[in-house]
């Protein structure tokens, strides 16, 4: 009997740990989704701005979201000190804390693109057409592409000078939208001079990269 009880205790413990991990992972996605507009390189966090405070209305009023799961995720983020919650005029809001800001920055750095020694003069174009039902993942993708240093040249088209297919596939797969994202390689793209200038400005490219 004692052996069975111990086995059940171990099983329950394992289930709790797995549940905790699932919440943790989905909460990270929710954190990015809530605050995808936050500039992660902002020098001053404590500036009055609506981007650090978001309504939960879009999640609670959308039948595609499981309300119980959303509440679990919010509770987890709150228990970790990443967000604060409050109600105003019967509407629930979440606010990003300084600790949450650091976590958001860390999440954005988990996937990195390695820079080769020399640019091969080719362009990597990330093109996506994500269905509206995956809007949250689409917003998270846009946020991450910008944080990785890609430049937006059209509504759903981003460009980068260095190989990044593996990283983009990994990112889109983690968001569950890999079938809606394509990476293409091009020798020339329209407006190339302006794009090169923008990458020089962000120091993604340098003058040596432009040498023949």
Tens place of pLDDT for every residue, the chain, 212 residues? 545 555 555 555 544 444 443 333 367 667 766 765 454 444 344 444 445 777 888 777 777 677 888 888 888 889 999 888 888 888 888 888 888 888 877 766 667 888 998 999 999 999 999 998 888 888 889 988 998 999 999 989 999 999 998 888 878 877 878 899 999 999 999 999 999 999 999 999 999 989 87
> 65 with 26: CB under 8 angstroms?
no
CATH 3.30.70.260 fits 123-210, yes or no: no
> 115 with 104: CB under 8 angstroms?
no
The Cα 130–Cα 63 span in angstroms is: 19
Query: Strand locations in 61-190, DSSP E?
Result: 83-88, 91-96, 123-128, 151-154, 157-160, 181-186
Place of tokens 């699932």: 22
Radius of gyration of the chain (CA): 21
Q: Which fold has domain 2-108?
A: Arc Repressor Mutant, subunit A (1.10.10)
* pLDDT tens digits along 165-174: 888 887 887 7
pTM of full prediction above 0.75: no
| Cβ-Cβ contacts under 8 Å for 42 (sequence gap 6 or more) | none
Domains 2-108 and 123-210 share a fold: no
Domain chopping of the chain, boundaries: 2-108, 123-210
């Amino acid at each position: 009997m004692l052996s069975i009880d111990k086995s059940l205790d171990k099983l329950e413990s394992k289930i709790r740990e797995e549940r905790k991990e699932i919440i943790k992972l989905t909460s990270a996605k929710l954190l990015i989704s809530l605050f995808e507009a936050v500039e992660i390189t902002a020098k001053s966090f404590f500036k009055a701005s609506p981007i650090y405070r978001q309504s939960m209305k879009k999640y609670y009023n959308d039948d595609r979201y499981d309300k119980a799961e959303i509440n679990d995720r919010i509770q987890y983020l709150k228990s970790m000190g990443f967000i604060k919650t409050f109600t105003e005029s019967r509407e629930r809001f979440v606010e990003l804390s300084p600790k949450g800001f650091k976590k958001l920055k860390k999440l954005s750095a988990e996937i990195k693109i390695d820079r080769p020694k020399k640019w091969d003069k080719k362009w990597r174009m990330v093109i996506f057409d994500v269905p509206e039902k995956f809007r949250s993942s689409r917003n998270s993708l846009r946020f991450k592409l910008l944080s990785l240093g890609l430049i937006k040249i059209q509504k759903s088209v981003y460009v980068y000078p260095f190989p990044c297919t593996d990283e983009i596939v990994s990112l889109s797969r983690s968001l569950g939208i890999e079938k809606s994202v394509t990476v293409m390689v091009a020798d020339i793209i329209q407006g190339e001079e302006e794009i090169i200038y923008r990458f020089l400005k962000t120091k993604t490219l340098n003058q040596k990269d432009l040498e023949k």
